[in-house]
């Protein structure tokens, strides 16, 4: 008996063979990957039910590769713990875009900007420059945690953080918060 279900992307009704139960397939309507449900739906046959199209193995391999690559990059960023050696050349000059005022002179708005800059640098893989900001952020303790928590629950990301995948941003925020605690 065929499995009849609705595509969660385009809403088309799809008829799939029993052997595809719980497998990932391609919707014949919108061509997006979907999973055939495990249960049989008792919908009546209708003329607008589509027959299942074969899954493009090359597309599926690309998707898996990209997911794996994203996961590996995220793990690399999150596991980066090395701090640059304390030397005079690790401190950026005052006219550098990475120069920040001493921690005691930072107000809440500046601290918010520094935290956003840190998250952007980490997402962009600029680990050395980001690590220069960690001490400044950590030195503000609870004020930093409050700002980080606000960024974490904000549905609309800061403009500086736009374009960072939500899962990566969430991991970076957790990592920064753990460095402060």
Domain ranges of the chain: 3-55, 71-180
- Other C-beta atoms within 10 Å of 51: how many? 10
Binned average pLDDT, 10 residues per bin, the chain of 181 residues? 85 86 88 83 52 73 84 78 48 52 67 87 86 84 86 77 83 86 73
- pLDDT for 104 equals 53
- pLDDT for 2 equals 80
- pLDDT for 98 equals 54
Extract the tokens encoding 70.
């994203």
The rounded distance, in Å, linking the Cα atoms of 137 and 115 is 7
């Amino acid at each position: 008996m065929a499995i009849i279900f609705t595509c969660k992307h385009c809403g088309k009704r799809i008829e799939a063979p029993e052997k595809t139960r719980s497998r990932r397939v391609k919707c014949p309507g919108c061509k997006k990957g979907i999973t055939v449900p495990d249960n049989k739906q008792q919908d009546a046959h209708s003329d607008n039910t589509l027959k299942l199209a074969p899954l493009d193995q090359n597309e599926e391999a690309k998707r898996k590769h990209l997911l794996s690559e994203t996961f590996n990059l995220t793990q690399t960023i999150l596991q980066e713990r090395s701090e640059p050696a304390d030397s005079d050349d690790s401190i950026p000059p005052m006219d550098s875009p990475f120069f920040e005022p001493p921690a005691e002179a930072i107000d809440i708005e500046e601290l918010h900007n520094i935290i956003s800059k840190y998250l952007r640098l980490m997402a962009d893989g600029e680990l050395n420059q980001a690590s220069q900001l960690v001490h400044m952020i950590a030195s503000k303790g609870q004020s930093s945690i409050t700002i980080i928590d606000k960024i974490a629950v904000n549905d609309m990301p800061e403009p500086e953080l736009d374009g960072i995948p939500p899962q990566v941003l969430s991991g970076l925020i957790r990592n920064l918060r753990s460095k402060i605690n």
